[in-house]
Each structure stands twice: as C-alpha cells, then as structure tokens.
Amino acid sequence: MKKAIFGGTFDPIHIGHIHIAYEALYNLHLDSVIFMPAGNPPHKKNKKITDAQIRYDLVKRAIESEAQFEISDYEINKKENSYTYKTVEIFSELQPNIEWYFLIGVDSLMELANWKNVDIILNSCKLVVYNRAGFTTEEVSVQRLYIEQKFNKKIIYINMPIIDISSTNIRKNIKAGRKVNYLLPRGVEEIIQVHNLYK
C-alpha cells in the first residue's frame, strides 16, 4: 500500500488543502492521504495558533465524507515539539509494509536544508513537493537539485494547478466580517462559528 502524510497547522483547513490531497492521491496512485494537524511546530513558536483539538476537529469534519482521506492525532498528542523527521520515522517503523510519502509545499522545500535531521526524513519516506504561488519554475528546479545532490535522494515534484487560498487570509476575512464559506470544506464554517474563531 502507498500512503502520504499531509502535515500542516490547518488553521483553518480550506479547499486548497483538499485540492492538494486529491492531486497527490491521483498523481502518485496512493491508497490514502493522512492529514496530520501539527501539535507544537517549532517554526511557529511566536505565532498564535488555534487549540490543537479544535484544529483536529476542523480537519476531521472536512474529510469525513472522503473515503481515501484519514486523520492522525499523533502530533497533537505530543507534549514536545513536533519534528517531521520523528513523525515519518515513527510511522515507517510502525507500518514498514507501507510505502510512505510526505507532502510539502515549495515554500518548505526552500527551507528544507535547515530542518532537523533531513536525512532521516528522506530515508523514511519519499518526499513529495507541490507547487505554490510565488515561486518560479527555475527557483524550484535549482532548490530541488540542490537538495537531491546534498542528500543523494530523489524528490518527487507535482506541478499541480494552483488554488491560491491561504489560512492567513481566511482568518483576516473572518475578522473583517467577510464571507468565507466558499473557501471552506462542508461543515468547517460551522465549527469556526461555534468556537467564535478568528474574530
């Protein structure tokens, strides 16, 4: 079986995330995509992030009718910082019969050399990079080649159609009293309203 881990703060999850997951599912012929809300991401220590359990509930509601999508609470249940290398290492050890993939955007690819224990990540799974707005094809190619040569591992690149939606802008729009339901999977806005989020 082939499964991909799709990590993120998902604050909130939006239709752009669902689009990325389906593109990965179809392009890589995956059996499933596992959404993994981040617990304590070390690179966002100084940012205010919605409670992990609420973000988990947002994702769970967003994918509840999607047969090939799963959700994991592994990272939100960790007390210490959530590092990608540890997550993929644990999952590959627990289910060694699964061919594991890990999805990141090109923005993360640009910072990948600074991540903790990149070699463990690349040895534990196949890294999949999806394109995002704001990066040229040349920039992506140069960085991808640099990482591949530095760690002697191949990186899969999916040049998918871009749906340029950001959680940051959704939060800003909610704060400004604007409609965002058209940017969110079914049921997500209801949870946002129940918890009075992003006001």
* Residue spans per domain, the chain: 2-166
Confidence of residue 47 (pLDDT cuts 50, 70, 90): confident
Q: What is the pTM of this model?
A: 0.94
- The angle subtended at Cα 57 by Cα 56 and Cα 61, nearest 5°, is 120
pLDDT (tens digit per residue) in 141-198:
999 999 999 999 999 999 999 899 999 999 999 999 999 999 999 999 999 999 999 9
| Least confident stretch, 5-9, 54-58, 78-82, 89-93 | 78-82
12: preceding bond cis by omega (within 30 degrees): yes
Structure tokens at 18: 């669902």
Classified by CATH at the fold level, domain 2-166 comes out as: Rossmann fold (3.40.50)
Q: What pLDDT shows up at residue 42?
A: 62
CB atoms within 10 A of CB 73: 15
Structural contact between residues 56 and 71, judged by C-beta atoms closer than 8 angstroms: yes
The pairing of beta strand 32-37 with beta strand 2-8: parallel
